[in-house]
Chain A
Amino acid sequence: MLLRHTSSEVQQRGALTINPAKTCQPIGAMYAALGIHGCMPHSHGSQGCCAYHRSALTRHYKEPAMATTSSFTEGASVFGGQANLVAAINNIFTIYNPDIIAVHTTCLSETIGDDIPQIIQRAESDGKIPEGKLLIHCNTPSYVGSHVTGFANMVKSMVTYFSESGSGKKLNQVNIIPGWVEPADMREIKRLCGEMGVKTVIFPDTSGVLDVAMTGKAEHFPKGGVTVEALKTTGDSKATIALGEVTSGPAAKALDVKCNVPCEILDLPIGLAATDRFIDTLRKILHIEVPETVTEQRGRLLDMIMDTQQYTYKKRVALWGDPDQLVALAEFLVLLDMEPVYIVTGTPGKNFLKRIEKVIGNCAFKAEVKAGAGADMYLMHQWIKNEKVDLLIGNTYGKYISRDEDIPLVRFGFPIFDRVGHQYFPTVGYRGGMRLLEMILNVLLDRQDRDCPEESFELVM
């Protein structure tokens, strides 16, 4: 019992986080920046931050995650990190030669008060930025928001730095901000849009960066990622569809303000209804018809849900992870007639509770939902100890609860350190919905096979 120390009595904790359901901003900024083609994410802080983020991303994606660091020292933390950053910029362009450097800050550099735009200017005037090379930044103090907000901040910076409404003429394309999803999900969103005949700019886009095919060549800057040229055209797009209010909303709104591109902020297209809304929004914006092939995919998901409803009926589920994922996932589970009774995210934000309320408010079951301070895996475990659930859905950190309480776990979200598949197989769109449902059913049915008495062990299920 690895979590034998968890007591079932839930007490108000004053100050403490035990087994967090979030991490800090910079890693989100790093992940987002990897979704720009030819981009080197740069961590302006101590060496450890960068090493930890790279290790975490590498463990999750099983791919190299390149990023550089300002390698702060005691001197830098007294006199400011300008010298380190300018030296870093020079070294990065000299040795790694990326097209663009995306700087994010850390708790250290934020508290010192380093003014990144001013330092970038300094580097520029000192001639440290070669012709044609670019630099962007975002502020990601680790003591604000969570990894999710760090992602959102870097995506917003892509708009702030690059989006232009140059031609004054609207292009026949739609911006899609996919949110913090897997490379496979970004690939699937692109595929779906392609099938709909919609021209898109997707940013960021980590497909082809963190799910690179084996070629025998190690490319430091793989061929995936949204290009800067494409990012520049986002100001002339017809509309922006932001998937995920927390991760994509800020960038979409900034683009509206900056370039007058109207935006629709939707949930992540996880599950049937949310995917319907995504497809329908595309249809309306572009006045197109939904092709037969997409309708068929929808039909297959619907068919699968019907075929298996008896197994999902009234199953109690505990979920944890990031706000945008949880909202869409909870909606899907409700559609499956399951009961998402415990929901936890470490990411603070009052709106999350309202969004969840909208999804499960009319349901017959009673749910415990918590976000921000004190919303951690320890609390989740305490809830479960008080009343058990049938299924856990969330990242790898749920495996301790899964083992101790003997409850099956479907891995979903970030990070997943102990299984493969999440990089390659999407959970968005209709096909992603089918995969999610398949994963859920498989563990539930395995459990039934394992636990049922011998006489009722069934061949046909």
Chain B
Amino acid sequence: MVRILDERRQQVYRKGQGSFNMTCEKKSLAGAVSQRACVFCGSRVVLYPIADALHLVHGPIGCAAYTWDIRGALSSGPQLHRLSFSTDLREMDVIQGGEKKLYNSLVELIDEYQPKAAFVYATCIVGLIGDDVDAICRKVSSEKNITVLPVHSEGFCGSKKEGYRAACDALYKLVGTAPADGVSRHSINIMGDFNLAGEIWLIREYYNRMGVEVVANITGDGRVADIRRMHAASLNVVQCSGSIIHLARKLEEKYGRPYIRVSYFGIEDMAKALYDVAEFFDDPVMMEKAEQIVRSEVAAIMPEIRRYRKDLVGRKAAVYVGGAFKAFSLVRALRLLGMRTVLVGSQTGNQDDYRQLRDMCDAGTIIVDDSNPLELCGFLKEKGCDIFIGGVKERPIAYKLGLGFCDHNHERKQALAGFTGMLNFAREVYATVTSPVWQFVRRPQPAQENKK
């Protein structure tokens, strides 16, 4: 049986066993090998894909070094976001304050690169030494005539979630700073997609084919000028809701622009993301086009997917991802491949998310919040999986246990969103699950109770 810290018992639920009362959104336990990151990390991942902005990390070197171009958020134009800028605070700065250094760095960078806007990330230490980041940003803003936005992302102020919020707050300051004219009534913003492996390009194309104008990508392949006028779009289409929902709500409040939540992973969810938009605009022609897209795209990928399915039917998968919304889609996508999800978890899900997961999963499935390698290993062994789907920290766990693995996080190398992405996903799952290497590996056998 897997050892679970007493304090974490309520963060694990086995479907069909006992009543559902999952605790989540808890602070990670001190001393856990948590798979979670910090506020800064959350802000950085949301904002960094804005390719024509300057991203200056105000703090010691590590925060900038570890987030240097690690996420593969592609840009079709400028590549400024892929460089790493840091004030590299040193001991004397910690004693005497880093404001001067921040000011000088900003001025030098703006002169050199002429960015469209600048984001300044305040890291842990900045919060402690009390640099007035806001004041410096204001000063440089007025001197250089460019928007310089502070992002209050001191790492200790919470987990990634709080970082998302700080990023949204910064983004919101840009919104509405450019005129909204010339935008079609049938217009949307794509929110919460970061264009990993070019995914937003796929999605944009589907919407364009439906006759929908995409005003801004938030934030994959993002541009400052688009964000400034994003309030003009009639609808906000929100994926990865954890990261960006805060901004969507603000847009609704201030500009009366509603939002819908979607997911682009898997055939069902992708199709629904198109239908929901067409339905919102209440336009039969648009709906017709959406249906056509779904029909032709699905027809194009299904024959190959069916081939993979033959070998994947009945195989067992485990899923551990950042946001719960992605987990829903993965459970469905795996089902399309004939696979069963026997373990599913997220770093940041809430009660509703986990309840929804419970409803969609089979009996016996383990649902887990903010897990750690030890628990995950235990659950994987207990369930006897064929594949683990997760991120960088989950990959070696899978391989150590002799399981297949698919990176559904920063390190995906192919688009996994959209219809094309579903096919890529099927290929990846198939390739790893059926790899000849596993014949040399003795996998842990599932525990007795599951053999029945």
Chain A residues proximal to chain B, CB less than 8 Å: 1-5, 7, 13-20, 22-24, 26-27, 42, 45-56, 58-59, 62-64, 66-74, 76-77, 84-85, 87-92, 94-96, 106-108, 111-112, 141-144, 146, 212, 214, 216-218, 220, 346, 373, 378, 397, 400
Contact = CB atoms under 8 A, between A and B. Distances in A.
Interface of B: 3, 5, 27-41, 59-68, 70, 79-80, 82-91, 93-94, 100-102, 104-105, 108-109, 112-113, 123-125, 127-129, 155-159, 373-374, 377, 392-393, 395-397, 399-402, 441-444
Given A19-B84, A85-B30, A58 B393 contact: yes
B91 A95 contact: no
Contacts of B113: 5
Contact of B83 (A18, A49, A143): A18
The CB with the most chain B CB atoms within 10 A, among A52, A84, A346, A400, is that of: A52
A16 B104 contact: yes
The 10 closest A-B pairs by CB, nearest first: A48-B38, A24-B62, A88-B31, A91-B31, A46-B155, A142-B60, A23-B65, A52-B66, A218-B400, A88-B30
Given A15-B87, A144-B91, A216-B441, A90 B156 contact: no
A13 B108 CA distance: 8
A376 B264 CA distance: 39
A143 B94 contact: yes
B31 A15 contact: no
B124 A143 contact: no
B61 A20 contact: yes
A15 B91 contact: no
Contacts of A22: 61, 65
Nearest to A214: B441
Contact of A76 (B3, B156, B159, B442): B156
Given A18-B85, A20-B65, A47-B38, A216 B402 contact: yes
Given A19-B84, A46-B124, A108-B128, A146 B61 contact: yes
Contacts of B62: 23-24, 26-27, 49, 52, 107, 142
Given A214-B441, A216-B401, A216-B442, A71 B28 contact: yes
B125 A111 contact: yes
Contacts of A92: 31
Given A15-B101, A66-B33, A108-B155, 20 more contacts: A2-B79, A5-B79, A16-B86, A16-B108, A17-B85, A20-B61, A23-B61, A56-B66, A64-B373, A69-B31, A71-B28, A73-B27, A74-B156, A74-B157, A91-B30, A107-B62, A108-B125, A142-B61, A214-B400, A218-B377
Contacts of A56: 66
B33 A96 contact: yes
B85 A71 contact: no
A96 B31 CA distance: 10
Contacts, number: 245
B45 to A, nearest CB: 11
Contact of A73 (B37, B125, B156, B399): B156
Contacts of B85: 16-18
A218 B397 contact: yes
Given A17-B88, A54-B393, A64 B400 contact: yes
Contacts of B397: 64, 218
B59 A107 contact: yes
Given A19-B83, A47-B38, A48-B37, A55 B66 contact: yes
A150 B67 CA distance: 19
Contacts of A67: 33
A46 B37 CA distance: 8
Contacts of A142: 59-62, 125
Most chain A CB neighbours (cut-off 10 Å) among B28, B90, B127, B157: B90
A246 B70 CA distance: 28
Given A66-B33, A142-B60, A24 B65 contact: yes
A68 B28 CA distance: 11
Contacts of B104: 14-16
Given A17-B86, A64-B373, A220-B373, A51 B34 contact: yes
Contacts of B5: 91, 94-95
Which of A14, A112, A144, A400 counts the most B-chain CB atoms under 10 A from its CB? A14
A26 B29 CA distance: 20
27 contacts: A1-B79, A2-B79, A18-B83, A19-B83, A20-B61, A46-B39, A47-B28, A47-B159, A51-B34, A51-B41, A64-B393, A66-B373, A69-B30, A69-B33, A74-B157, A76-B156, A77-B128, A95-B3, A96-B33, A106-B124, A107-B94, A107-B124, A108-B125, A141-B91, A214-B400, A217-B400, A373-B90
